[in-house]
Amino acid sequence: MRVCYLLGYPVGHSMSGVMHNAAFQELGLDYRYELKSVPPEELGALVASELRGTDFAGASVTIPHKLAIIEHLDWVDPSALRIGAVNTIVNEDGQLKGYNTDGTGALRGITEAYGDVEEARVIMVGAGGAARAVGYHLSTAVRELTIANRTVERAEELAASLAANPECRATVRSIPLERDALRAAIEEADILVNGTPLGMHPKTGDTPVQREMLHPGLLVFDLVYNPIKTRLLREAEEAGAAILPGVNMLVYQGATAFRMWTGVDPPVETMKAAVVEALGGE
């Protein structure tokens, strides 16, 4: 049997085990997925002792190890290096390779929900770890990307680093997370992305954007996946906007990892159904 891990600290609320084990079972693969809570000071020793064995297929990496894992790997994908975070490890004959599948997962969901994004103007709230990955891939695909963040210096730094990427095709700018600036940016936007934890369980009454800023021309994508339909998404629907729940990104980033570990096409619908059920339904 081959094993895949989730490396995090803590890992208790993760949906990854449910998602990947449902997929292994559906396809009858001799794999299992385990959640491993690894204190930061033990990460290096775990990599050296367990992750290079032939029974280890790969891992998902989550908070707080996404950056720290990089120095323990043999090779890291250039886009993951630019993002500054690895969320997927693959064991290729004892060589540990690092990737970031968060941003590609997000872009796949956006493209399915929106269509061709080449001309899209995007406003993204947040400049943390997940927003960095999503912002990186959006900046290579859309026309305009505006980043709004509570700590405006982080938005500025992210915008500058995305614009410096030779593969960036968007005009990238940053704004403070202030009512007037946000309102104006959303008014002109085709896609609104929430990359903050605002609205996440248990503080489900929070939202990053005032209801009156939402309009029917928007696709609203919330990275938060618990609850599946956040306050932001409910209010977006009421305003006539299209919505994209974060669960799609979660499943697509996991599906990419699954294919890398097993070489087999992932049963995406099974993975999504397992996560939706674990989250208590749509």
Ligand X SMILES: NC(=O)c1ccc[n+]([C@@H]2O[C@H](COP(=O)([O-])OP(=O)(O)OC[C@H]3O[C@@H](n4cnc5c(N)ncnc54)[C@H](OP(=O)(O)O)[C@@H]3O)[C@@H](O)[C@H]2O)c1
Footprint on this chain of ligand X (rule: CB under 6 A) = 63, 102, 126-131, 149-151, 154, 177, 195-198, 200, 223-225, 246, 249-250, 253
Minimum gap (Å) between residue 269 Cβ and ligand X: 17
The residue (of 72 and 132) whose beta carbon lies closer to ligand X is 132
Minimum gap (Å) between residue 35 Cβ and ligand X: 16
Minimum gap (Å) between residue 180 Cβ and ligand X: 16
Joined together, the tokens standing for residue 229 give 């339909």
Active site residues per annotation: 66
- Per-residue three-class SS string for 89-135: EEEECCEEEEECCHHHHHHHHHHHHHCCCCCCEEEEECCCHHHHHHH
State the Cα angle at 204 between 199 and 205, rounded to 5°. 95
The residue (of 56 and 87) whose beta carbon lies closer to ligand X is 87
Minimum gap (Å) between residue 249 Cβ and ligand X: 4
- Residue nearest to ligand X according to CB distances in the complex: 128
For 11, 42, 72, the CA distances from 48, given in Å and listed in that order, are: 21, 10, 8
The residue (of 58 and 126) whose beta carbon lies closer to ligand X is 126
The residue (of 58 and 246) whose beta carbon lies closer to ligand X is 246
What single-letter amino acid sits at 157? E
Q: CB within 8 A of 11, min separation 6: which ones?
A: 35, 36, 37, 62
Other CB atoms closer than 10 Å to residue 155's CB: what's the count? 25
